[in-house]
Structure formats: structure tokens, C-alpha cells
Amino acid sequence: MSFLDISLEEKQKALAELRDVKQLFADRGWFAGTSGNLSIRVGDFTPEQFHFAITASGKDKSMQTPEDFLFVDQQGKPAETTRLKPSAETLIHCEIYRLTGCGAIFHVHTVFNNLISEYFWDRKSVPVDGVELIKAFNIWDEEAHIDIPIVSNYADIPRIVPEVTSAFNPQIPGIILRKHGIYAWGANAFEAKRHLEAFEFIFEYVYRWELLKRGG
């Protein structure tokens, strides 16, 4: 399906959803110093061809302007004429869409996701034991254990892509970049938001539990 075949209505719906999520996360202080990026996929999907709307690079994401988003293709190239630059991390979104066929990807930097990524860097994953909120990931087993993958954070974004490919676990809708932030995804914006919120809750819980165990 070419970009032109995707209805204007679907494109506008994606932009409206991105605007709402961006405002909500900004109000939570989740875009410190222009960090973070958001995307929503539009049109049909095959791993070889897809399109998505993504935040433009380097913007103050707490502001709403007419130049906040643009559409790109599966290679991260603009799908229409624009002077906007897609997020510097667009290739990570491309890889997550290619692997999952998901509908939305949200990336935020928070103090808890940074701290936890460094604390558990040696084991390359955050262990989570029996926390109720993993049900947000559709994991319903009693006292289930999960490991949330952590990958290296290189300045050269294309180097991060194969890390994401090899760390990807279809049961866990998120990957942490070391001392950087989390990528969370879902079938649509509602699910990606639910996953991101669950991850952030879990990171704070695990961090505080580790402190408590040490008498802090």
C-alpha cells in the first residue's frame, strides 16, 4: 500500500492521537529537555512496507505546534514533502514495527528507567517477580517472573538497531536503552500507553524494593 492510498481520515486520526498522548506525557514531565519520541502507524502492514507518523526531532515536546509530526516510511524516510526532520531515533521505531507489526510506539526518558537500567546492566534485564501490573502486558500467571531487556545505548543510532533485534522478546512489549530510556509499544495508542505506564510503575517499584532490601 502506498502512502497516497492511506485515507486522509486515518492520517488525521493518528495525528490527533499523537497530539493527545504528547500533551498528557508532557504534563507528567516525561519529555525533559526535548527528550522522548512518539509514533503511530497508519495503513496496511507488511514487514517490508509500512508508514507511521512520528514526532519531529529536537522539538520542545511540551509545546503544541503545527510542525510537531511528520509521516515516514519503513526506512524512516519522509513519506511526503516536508522541511521537518523525523526523530533522531526513527530507525528504532522502524525496527520495532518491522519485528512486531504493532500500531504505536512511545519512548520516554525518566529518572527511574535510567537508574534501573544501570543498576541491572550486568544482567542485561530488569527482573520482575509477581508484580500485579504485569497483567497490563497480558501475563496472567500467578506470581509470574519476567525479565525486561536492557540494551546498549550507542550515540550512533543504527548501531542500536541490531541490539533491539536480538533483545526482542514477543511477550514483553518494551526494551530499555541503558541510561537512556524505554521504548514501549502496543497494538494501538491505548495499549502502548498502558504498557508504558505499567513499565514505569514497575521500575519505580523495583528500584524502591531494592533500596528497602538494603535498609534504605
Span from 21-29, 63-71, 179-187, 196-204 in contact with Zn ion (CB under 5 A): 179-187
Contact partner at residue 68 from Zn ion, ligand MRU, none, CB < 5 to 8 Å by partner kind: none
109 is in an annotated binding site: yes
Kindly give, in sequence order, each residue whose CB lies less than 8 Å from that of residue 175, ignoring residues fewer than 6 positions away.
96, 148, 149, 150, 151, 164, 167, 168, 182, 183
Positions that interact with ligand MRU (CB under 6 A): 33-37, 55, 57-58, 87-89, 107
Phi, psi of 176 (to 5 degrees): -100, 135
Q: Which helix (H) or strand (E) holds 108?
A: strand 104-108
107 is in an annotated binding site: yes
Residue 85 DSSP one-character state: P
Q: Which helix (H) or strand (E) holds 129?
A: strand 125-129
**In this complex, which beta carbon is closest to Zn ion, that of residue 11 or of residue 180?**
180
> Is 68:56 a contact under the CB 8 Å cutoff?
yes
Span from 64-72, 130-138, 173-181, 207-215 in contact with Zn ion (CB under 5 A): 173-181
Give me the residue whose beta carbon is nearest to Zn ion.
Answer: 181
Q: Report the nearest approach of Zn ion to the CB of residue 14 (Å).
A: 21
**In this complex, which beta carbon is closest to ligand MRU, that of residue 30 or of residue 128?**
30
> Is 31:61 a contact under the CB 8 Å cutoff?
yes
**In this complex, which beta carbon is closest to ligand MRU, that of residue 92 or of residue 172?**
92
Binding site residues, Zn ion, CB under 5 A: 181
Which amino acids are annotated as binding site for Zn(2+), given as ranges?
A: 107, 109
